[in-house]
Amino acid sequence: MSPEIVDARPVHSSSMRSHPLPGHKPITVAIPIGWSTNIGNAFFAEGIKYVLERAIPNCRAVLLTDQAAFLNLMPGRNYRHEPPNSLRYLDHIRPDYVVVAGSCLTEQFPRIWGESFRRLYQAGTKVLLIGAGHYDYSARESQLCRDLLKQYPPHVFISRDHRTYEGFHDLSKHSYDGIDCSYFVPEVFEPIKTDLPPYIILNFDKTPEPSIQVSANGASPLSGSPSPATSHSVRFDFGGHEWLLQFPRIRLKLSRLLDKGYAFAVGPLGLHGTRQRQAGEMMIVRTDHALNPLMLRRIFRGPNAFAGDLPYTYYNLYGQTELTLTDRIHAALVTLSYGRPAMLISRSGRASIIERVGGGDVTRRPTQLDMDVLSREKQRMIDFLSSVPW
């Protein structure tokens, strides 16, 4: 295995407009986003900007800071609300369109967006849901979000997984069974070379980091392996070697109880990671997606750790890794979008956004996508947006 860069960028058709066209009315689109608490939000936000500016003549898509409610890191999403002294800036912007994206369809969606939608609609600004998905996929979550969107039907609804499409496509005249816009990251950023040796990436902030054992050459594929969704150990064959990941049993159970709060509970104690530097002959790089709140002992918990407040170094790392092992959906997704292998160790239903493009085995073994299939899916989504009346 070598760190050679795979060019995963599709060849674009003439429908993908990169420059303003004369004679077309300028169109402004605001994309509210924040990524200090999750850099993965930047991945799909930049993808949305790219898609809109290629699909819509004379489109100017701008990234703005998201609702302040998303800075609320209290355990449990029921605590999310706009702080009392917030400017509520998004209530006052007046673009042609506002995008809501990502796992926005939560039980808190009406609380966070209801008042803003009311003001935006009164001002004539239309809402676009692009790359939208559930958080828990519960019936209550779905009903609360449907109730709000019935009041304020989106001009466009593009899901990032089929289940979300089935639940919401009837609420917009322009609906599409789409994909997560993070798949467009290779169109946004082409990796630059480094002098790092071949490496794998460990990205775990919801569960404890596993220790890794790699067998000698010649191991055959394993059968009857423990499920990564239920077991404290995971076996798979990769690159001609047998791999064994072992999670600390008690801390794994604790992480399933605390979910996202786990890393913030044990991270400051220095208990979240391992000190392992190598997996077989490859260096281990540790990435962390949550810079806010800043906890240096949690982020830099083991050798070769990285975290940052811009997404581009993450693209450069994921775009050249030999393998990404992660409990974060978008760490796996961006790795896969560059044609690299990834394995998602998670029980989340949101893994369906990778299954949507043919990565159905991603939670069972290291997986790579068929890049021709992915390229066609990306082009179809752009073609759909090009067909929408703006």
Q: Which residue has the tokens 């077309």?
A: 24
Contacts of 258 (CB under 8 A, 6+ apart): 75, 265
Helix, strand counts (H, E) of the chain: 12, 15
Instruction: Retrieve residue 340's tokens.
Output: 């690299």
> What is the full per-residue pLDDT of the chain (390 aa) written as tens digits?
444 444 444 434 333 444 555 666 799 999 999 999 999 999 999 999 999 999 999 999 999 999 988 886 554 444 567 888 999 999 999 999 999 999 999 999 999 999 999 999 999 999 999 999 998 899 999 999 999 999 999 999 999 999 999 999 999 999 999 999 999 999 999 999 999 999 999 999 888 899 999 997 654 444 445 555 456 899 999 999 999 999 988 888 887 877 767 777 777 776 666 889 999 999 999 999 998 888 888 889 899 999 999 999 999 999 999 999 999 999 999 999 999 999 999 988 889 999 999 999 999 999 999 999 999 999 999 999 999 999
DSSP 305: E
Q: What is the pLDDT of residue 261?
A: 72
Residues in the chain: 390
**What is residue 20's three-state secondary structure?**
coil
Q: What is the pLDDT of residue 294?
A: 86
Amino acid at position 163, single letter: R
Instruction: Could you list the beta-strand ranges (E) of the chain.
Output: 27-33, 59-65, 97-105, 126-134, 156-159, 175-176, 199-203, 211-214, 233-238, 241-246, 278-279, 282-287, 305-306, 323-326, 342-344
Strands 282-287 and 278-279: antiparallel
The domain spans of the chain are: 27-187+375-387, 188-370
Q: Which residue has the tokens 């407009």?
A: 17
CA distance 93 to 319: 35
Classify each residue of 250-274 as buried b or exposed e, where b means 16 or more C-beta atoms within 10 Å of its C-beta: ebbebbeeeebbbbbebbeeeebbb
Contacts of 380 (CB under 8 A, 6+ apart): none
CA distance 307 to 329: 17
> Per the omega criterion (within 30 degrees of 0), is the bond before 268 cis?
no
Q: What is the pLDDT of residue 22?
A: 63
| Predicted TM-score (pTM) of this structure | 0.89
Candidates 272, 128, 139; CA nearest to 203 is 272
Amino acid at position 273, single letter: G
CA distance 387 to 236: 44
CA distance 293 to 291: 6
Q: What is the pLDDT of residue 20?
A: 53
Q: What is the pLDDT of residue 78?
A: 47
- Output the CA–CA distances (angstroms, integers) from residue 125 to 29, 121, 338, in the order listed: 10, 5, 35
* Cα dihedral 171→177→180→185 (10° resolution): -120
Pick the CATH number of 27-187+375-387 from 1.25.40, 3.30.110, 3.40.50, 2.30.110: 3.40.50
CA distance 147 to 151: 7
User: How distant is the alpha carbon of residue 315 from its chain centre?
Assistant: 12
Candidates 162, 164, 55; CA nearest to 103 is 164
